[in-house]
Amino acid sequence: MGQEQTIDTVRLIVLLGLATLAAWAIALLLWPFLPAIAVAGTLAVVLRPAYRRLAKRIRRPAIAAFIGTTIVFFLVLLPIAGLSVLLAGQVGLGLQWLADRASTVLGPDGMLPGLLGDIATRFGLDSTRFQAGLHEQIGAAGARLAGRTLGILSGLGGWVVQAGIALFTLYYLLRDTDGLVHALKKLVPLNDARTDRLLDRAHEVILATIYGNVTVAIVQGTLGGITFAILGLPTAALWGTLMGLLSLLPLVGPAFVWLPTALLLFATGSVGRAIALLVVGSLIISTIDNVLRAWLVSDRAQLHPLVAFFSVLGGIFLLGPAGIFAGPVLFVLGLTIIDMARLALQGGEEHPGVLTGSFRLR
């Protein structure tokens, strides 16, 4: 009897090892397409209620999924593609405007070099060499920024491919959601209650990311772009888009764009526009997110700013823009699984709130 148990144990270990290798092989196969899968999964969760109503009305799941995918193409992907083309033409103009303004402030006759030169002289440094080094570093920073921007634009072709894969994936995720969720539950080595808890938590975080982060980013970026356009600043679409992207990063926000711009306007003599930008930026652009998040996202779904910051930033570094959606989901699911394991080792049973209370400290 003991020998049979040993054989069964060895077989189980071998089977688990093979299963681990199989899972690793599948992960390697899917890894190049993970950004597209993450975007498609996020859109499927958001569109699921509308898709169900449409499928119930026309009684053709395949047609309903095709309609949903087509709507995403025209209302999401085409506007993003158009914005990308617009930004590609504005990047050079925006950098030139910054260079012109910076040369006014940092040029040989500008205010800042003289001030820094006086400070350098007081510390026994050569002010001429100090100012020359300052100009050299500013020029190098501008060249690096331009190179990074061109690198991003040159990678748009790859994102076109990812967008096509995302649309293809979205169609099947909408059409076969119930079957895919059922299969996923069988793959997760947890009981049904804990698996449902994980899926519910993932659903909450996805909706919070879309409604709480993406919607706020669109609103703040739009307000910022309109403000820049009204004030007569060039490439308003570029700066508005940049403010929207920065608002996706907790603890950062659009102030990293409008505040330096206001200071630059003030330093170059545009005092009226600088004051107007400071007022609108501080009272409207950077504060509207508090109102929108409280309205769009339930308290249970909101994440602590530190968790949101590292999950979004880590997701972007790992997966690119798709990490905005995938990062928070993976982070929170990981914390949830750790909490489940802790409760299981203690012989306890999780209850609503235990798995979420430690993740939101707002």
Quickly list DSSP for 61-102.
HHHHHHHHHHHHIIIIIHHHHHHHHHHHHHHHHHHHHHHHHH
Q: Is residue 133 part of a domain?
A: yes
C-alpha 64/C-alpha 49 separation (Å) is: 12
Is the same domain home to 158 and 212?
no
Q: Is residue 13 part of a domain?
A: no
pLDDT per residue as tens, the chain (362 positions): 567 777 778 788 888 888 888 888 888 888 888 888 888 888 888 888 889 899 888 888 889 999 999 998 888 888 877 777 777 666 666 666 666 666 655 555 555 555 555 555 665 555 555 555 555 555 555 555 555 554 554 455 567 788 888 899 999 999 988 788 777 777 766 677 777 777 777 777 777 777 777 888 889 999 999 999 999 888 888 888 888 888 877 677 898 888 988 888 887 778 898 999 999 999 999 888 878 877 776 555 566 777 777 887 888 788 777 777 778 777 877 777 777 777 666 655 544 443 344 444 33
Range of the domain at 316: 190-362
User: What pLDDT shows up at residue 355?
Assistant: 39
CB neighbours of residue 311 within 10 Å: 25
CA atoms within 13 A on the CB side of 38: 23
Q: Which of 350, 262, 251 lies closest to 310, judged by CA?
A: 251
C-alpha 195/C-alpha 193 separation (Å) is: 5
Q: Which of 269, 126, 292 lies closest to 208, judged by CA?
A: 292
Is the same domain home to 287 and 324?
yes
Q: How many domains does the chain have?
A: 2
User: What pLDDT shows up at residue 88?
Assistant: 67
Is the same domain home to 277 and 330?
yes
User: What pLDDT shows up at residue 98?
Assistant: 63
Phi and psi of 105, rounded to 5°? Answer: -85, -40
Q: Where does residue 175 fall: left (phi above 0), alpha (psi -120 to 50 degrees), or beta otherwise? A: alpha
CA torsion, ordered 302, 307, 309, 310, to nearest 10 deg: -150
Last residue of a domain, one of 127, 161, 187: 187
Is the same domain home to 178 and 223?
no
Is the same domain home to 314 and 271?
yes
C-alpha 300/C-alpha 184 separation (Å) is: 25
Is the same domain home to 90 and 203?
no
Last residue of a domain, one of 145, 171, 187: 187
Is the same domain home to 223 and 335?
yes
Is the same domain home to 130 and 154?
yes
Is the same domain home to 156 and 253?
no
User: What pLDDT shows up at residue 279?
Assistant: 93
Is the same domain home to 197 and 119?
no
